Amino acid sequence: MDQLVSDATVARLPAYLRALVDLAADDVVSVSSGRLAREVGVNPATLRRDLATLGITGTRGVGYDVKYVLFEVSVALGVNREWPVAVVGAGNLGRALANYPGLAPRGFPVQVLFDVDDRLVGTEVAGVTVHHVDRLGELVPALGITVGVIATSAEAAPGVAAALVDAGVSSILSFAAGPLDVPDHVVVRRVDLATELQILSFYTRREAAVSGGAGVPLDEP
Amino acid sequence: MDQLVSDATVARLPAYLRALVDLAADDVVSVSSGRLAREVGVNPATLRRDLATLGITGTRGVGYDVKYVLFEVSVALGVNREWPVAVVGAGNLGRALANYPGLAPRGFPVQVLFDVDDRLVGTEVAGVTVHHVDRLGELVPALGITVGVIATSAEAAPGVAAALVDAGVSSILSFAAGPLDVPDHVVVRRVDLATELQILSFYTRREAAVSGGAGVPLDEP
DNA sequence: TAGATTGTTAATCGATTAACAATC
DNA sequence: TAGATTGTTAATCGATTAACAATC
């Protein structure tokens, strides 16, 4: 856990992890920075620097021990332990998260769902019980949950974030539009679908303009 | 549409758009880079540079005309027109997208859903009909759709991406794990929940380590 | 030893931002 | 004119990567 690890390095770690898992599954024992970098699509020097900042070393003339690097990157990303997750909002998005098959095997089991709707309270989604959001402050600490996912409306999100923080959650992933105000020690990441689509549409229009502007009206004044 | 607009600038545009919409709603006519930058949380010089690269100008001594900048940023992000969206996968995530209230008002109405499951075909979700994925190649061009969202399993995603490209889609937002192989002229963005949570957990562990390591076992060997 | 590959220095690249002349 | 604010230059900062000595 080094203060010096840059955001750019952190953003690449999940891709390294994926490639290392694949290599380990293929029983590859040792890998050079050149090969691993090619598989991830980065420069070998960048990869070596990234690993070095995490304190991960290889052997000159040989390469990196796959199991060792896999273990260390897993530790850095916290994937070597379980982070039980509370999802707030049991609408379609919340239910999609409870059903999402990629979470539990990667250490993020959805342990509990919360909603304000009494018709949903008491039901089960993918084996996860929906509780009333009023019980969040009681159940989240009891279940040892430190990760919260906000899958509510934008209006409800700030209140939910405050409740999660009060319940001791230290990381929040929010799908609600709009920024959240949380204390410094709480880490927030946001996924905003409309923002993603806007960025996508910027590049699409540029691509269309470059390749001859086919089809997409430019609407300039 | 300037080839010179950096990714970093593009990533900030949606936030500018949001702030400008708020200002326009409050009937603010003119805004300085200082004020707008404060509202977005960026440096004023960065904001001025971003606007300049888009060809957006202000008036020295006065500031920027809110309506004009709002219009130009909207055009750059393609928000001044409708981009009908096809969602492939009518599971919980696909249904969540069809129900997501932030898309249609921001120019991305979900126009059609596709699924392989015959039990879902013919049903409606939030007024959107679910069609069999076999009809994708026919319906997507007929509906003038150029944006596809992949909300299927990771296994199905590559085939779906290929079908979308064949149908003439030029932008794809994928929620499936794993990268997609598409032609150069197709723009892809991926949202990977497990990756988001891994990055979140990295920062959470670091935060925990900095503030005394309370609660989070480090599991070092 | 000869070949390979790391770890890291130093160069490069690109993005951010302070500063200020231009100008409303 | 005096004050304000842009547009842009030039400095700074940080990240990437070529290159190579260290070393297995």
The pLDDT confidence band at residue A221, using thresholds 50, 70 and 90, is very low
Q: How far is CA A155 from the centre of its chain?
A: 23
Q: What is the pLDDT of residue B206?
A: 84
- Tens digits of residue pLDDT in B151-161: 999 999 999 99
Q: Phi and psi at residue A130, in whole multiples of 5°?
A: -90, 120
- Tens digits of residue pLDDT in A103-120: 898 899 999 999 999 999
Cβ atoms of B5 and B54 closer than 8 Å: yes
Nearest to B30 by CA among B6, B60, B8, B52: B60
- Inter-chain residue contact B79 with A203, CB threshold 8 Å: no
The answer to which of A129-138, A197-206, A208-217 has the lowest mean pLDDT is A208-217
Q: Which residues in chain A (78-97) have CB-CB distances under 8 A to chain B?
A: 78-81, 83, 85, 91-93, 95-97
Residue with CA nearest C2 C1'? A61
- Tens digits of residue pLDDT in A31-90: 999 999 999 999 999 999 999 999 999 999 999 999 999 999 999 999 888 999 999 999
Compute the average pLDDT of residues A183-197: 91
Q: How many helices (H) and strands (E) does chain A have?
A: 8, 9
Q: Which residues in chain B (19-78) have CB-CB distances under 8 A to chain A?
A: 71, 75-78
- Tens digits of residue pLDDT in B46-97: 999 999 999 999 999 999 999 999 999 999 999 888 999 999 999 989 999 9
Chain B closest-CA separation from residue A125 CA (Å): 11
Say yes or no: A13 contacts chain B, CB-CB below 8 A: yes
Residue type, B192: D
- Tens digits of residue pLDDT in B175-192: 998 889 999 899 999 998
Cβ atoms of B152 and B158 closer than 8 Å: no
Q: What is the pLDDT of residue A73?
A: 97
Q: Phi and psi at residue B159, in whole multiples of 5°?
A: -65, -40
Three-class DSSP category at B9? helix
pTM for the predicted model, two decimal places: 0.89
Three-class DSSP category at B26? coil
Q: What is the dihedral of CA A208, A211, A217, A221, to 10 degrees?
A: 100
Residue type, B157: A
For residues A3 and A5, give the distance between their C-alpha atoms in angstroms, rounded to a whole number.
6
Question: Which bases of chain C are under 7 A from a protein CB atom?
Answer: 3-9, 14-19, 22-24
Domains of chain A, each with CATH number or no CATH: 7-76 (1.10.10.10), 85-194 (3.40.50.720)
Q: For residue B64, give the nucleotide whose C1' atom is nearest its CA.
A: D6
Q: What is the pLDDT of residue B220?
A: 36
Say yes or no: B196 contacts chain A, CB-CB below 8 A: yes
